Amino acid sequence: MMRLTLIGLFLLLARISAAQDSAAVKRFELRGYVKDMQILNYDRGFKTLITSNLIHNRLNMRWKIDEHWKAGVELRNRLYWGEQVSMTPNFADNLRNKNEAFNMSITWINSTSLVLHTNIDRLWLEYATQKWNARIGRQRINWGIASTWNPNDLFNTFNFIDFDYEERPGSDAVKFQYLTGPMSNLEVTGALTEEGNLRGISAARYFMNWKNYDIQFIGGWYINQPTFGLGWSGSIGQTGFKGEFQQFVNHGNVGAQTNLVLEADRTFKGGWYMDTGMLYNSSGIDQPVPDWSTINLQFSPKNLMPTKWNVLYTATKQITPLLTAGSGFVYAPQAKLLIILPQVGYELTTDLDINLVWQSFFAQQTDAFAGLSHRIYFRLKYSF
């Protein structure tokens, strides 16, 4: 009953906000969505079940002040309840993006089994001319090219397991961009990260197109060491070919590290799309792990996966104009870690979608290759 009441309230607010988007206020734009998601967490043998529920509301606001100035505010409202909340110590503390330098979140309710949390993950002011663009505030610095792992994305690491966060994290940053040509630009960015232990990231990127390939060169300083990188996107025949390379240079007490991603994708007749890739993390694990609970699974620009060698394969099929199904896996051969990721999506109406997402984790244990855990997500999403 509580879930239906909250969904109804969010839908009513969405309709009221959408109705206000008239010619009189055309400079202001409001978009967003409401999601209701049931989460089932099973142990390795499907003998123990831990459940939780999530109602997730997002509001994206844009204000065109005049010809040159524009502002943006985006926030997430999330209501969690259930066994997972009560069984996870300090559950509310884990809802913030630890990469954010300043705390712009509020925990409205923090009880034993119910948490209501709001976080502003975009808050920026932008000035733009024909060639120049400057933006200050919490924003998305998107330097990634590949689909799943992005070594070039120094400011906003994307967690591919967190499928429910389509917008991806933001950074507290200042960004300057200058258009050097029709298909080239220079971007310089500085950001602060980690509240309570402020550290800086500063880097520059030159983006260009050469012989139908988008190419970018990156250089700068990541927290406490120099770094440089290269990224590209193009095609070989009808197959897309992407890659990203990032080198963290040995400096002081911090050792060198190399991250490399290669990816190929292709769309086939009959609605098929296939994507395959690999990730090399020179500092990653290269042997089986007896207890995965001891491994750092917090993704960062230097920890896109905790394992050294990783391969990825996904296949998606558009069965009908409204129904899409797909599956994929990530496998680390040296550590013998396997993640299986099937999903199904159906468009009920233009604004209403339903999804079923499954995530299963397997690894080499002391005695055998076995399951670690399994997660099932049922999600209903209304966009406005």
The answer, yes or no, to whether residue 219 has pLDDT greater than 60, is: yes
In the chain, helix, strand, coil percent, each to 5?
10, 60, 30
Name, in order, each residue with C-beta under 8 angstroms of 322's C-beta and a sequence gap of 6 or more. 346, 347
Inter-residue contact 340 to 329 (CB < 8 Å): yes
Which domains are seen in the chain, by residue range? 2-383 (2.40.160.10)
Q: Which of 337, 329, 331 is closest to 287 using CA atoms?
A: 337
pLDDT tens-digit profile of 337-377?
A: 999 999 999 999 999 999 999 999 999 887 788 899 999 99
Query: Distance between CA 331 and CA 26 in Å, rounded?
Result: 48
Inter-residue contact 203 to 175 (CB < 8 Å): no
The answer, yes or no, to whether residue 7 has pLDDT greater than 50, is: no
pLDDT tens-digit profile of 119-141?
A: 999 999 999 999 999 999 999 99
Q: Which of 129, 124, 163 is closest to 140 using CA atoms?
A: 124
**What pLDDT was estimated at residue 13?**
47
Q: Which of 105, 204, 194 is closest to 154 using CA atoms?
A: 204
pLDDT tens-digit profile of 60-87?
A: 999 999 999 999 999 999 999 999 999 9
The answer, yes or no, to whether residue 8 has pLDDT greater than 80, is: no
Give the length of the chain.
384
Q: Which of 56, 9, 11 is closest to 35 using CA atoms?
A: 56
More confident call, 160 vs 365: 160
Q: Which residue intervals of 41-184 are DSSP H helices?
A: 83-87
Name, in order, each residue with C-beta under 8 angstroms of 200's C-beta and a sequence gap of 6 or more. 190, 191, 192, 193, 221, 223
Query: Distance between CA 357 and CA 346 in Å, rounded?
Result: 12
Tell me 250's DSSP state. Answer: P
The amino acid at residue 106 is I
Number of Cβ within a 10 Å radius of residue 21: 14
The answer, yes or no, to whether residue 320 has pLDDT greater than 90, is: yes
Name 303's bridge partners: 300
Inter-residue contact 366 to 290 (CB < 8 Å): yes
Q: CA 32: distance to chain centroid? A: 17
Query: Distance between CA 228 and CA 259 in Å, rounded?
Result: 11
Inter-residue contact 225 to 205 (CB < 8 Å): no
Tell me 103's DSSP state. Answer: -
The answer, yes or no, to whether residue 223 has pLDDT greater than 60, is: yes
pLDDT tens-digit profile of 31-54?
A: 999 999 999 999 988 999 999 999
**What pLDDT was estimated at residue 195?**
64
User: Which residue is it, tokens 């123990």?
Assistant: 48
R_g (Cα) of the chain, nearest Å? 22
**What pLDDT was estimated at residue 70?**
97
Q: Is 93 strand, coil or helix?
A: helix
Inter-residue contact 186 to 204 (CB < 8 Å): yes
For the segment 95-102, the average pLDDT, to the nearest whole number, is 86
Q: Cα-flanking dihedrals φ and ψ of residue 342, to 5°?
A: -85, 155
**What pLDDT was estimated at residue 96?**
85
Percent of the chain surpassing pLDDT 70: 93
Region at 271 (left for phi over 0; alpha for psi -120 to 50; beta for the rest): left
More confident call, 9 vs 93: 93
**What pLDDT was estimated at residue 10?**
47
The answer, yes or no, to whether residue 281 has pLDDT greater than 90, is: yes
Number of Cβ within a 10 Å radius of residue 135: 20
Q: How do 114-128 and 323-332 pair as beta strands?
A: unpaired
What pTM does this model have?
0.88
The per-residue pLDDT of the chain, averaged, comes to: 91
For the segment 103-112, the average pLDDT, to the nearest whole number, is 95
Tell me 159's DSSP state. Answer: -
Inter-residue contact 279 to 260 (CB < 8 Å): yes
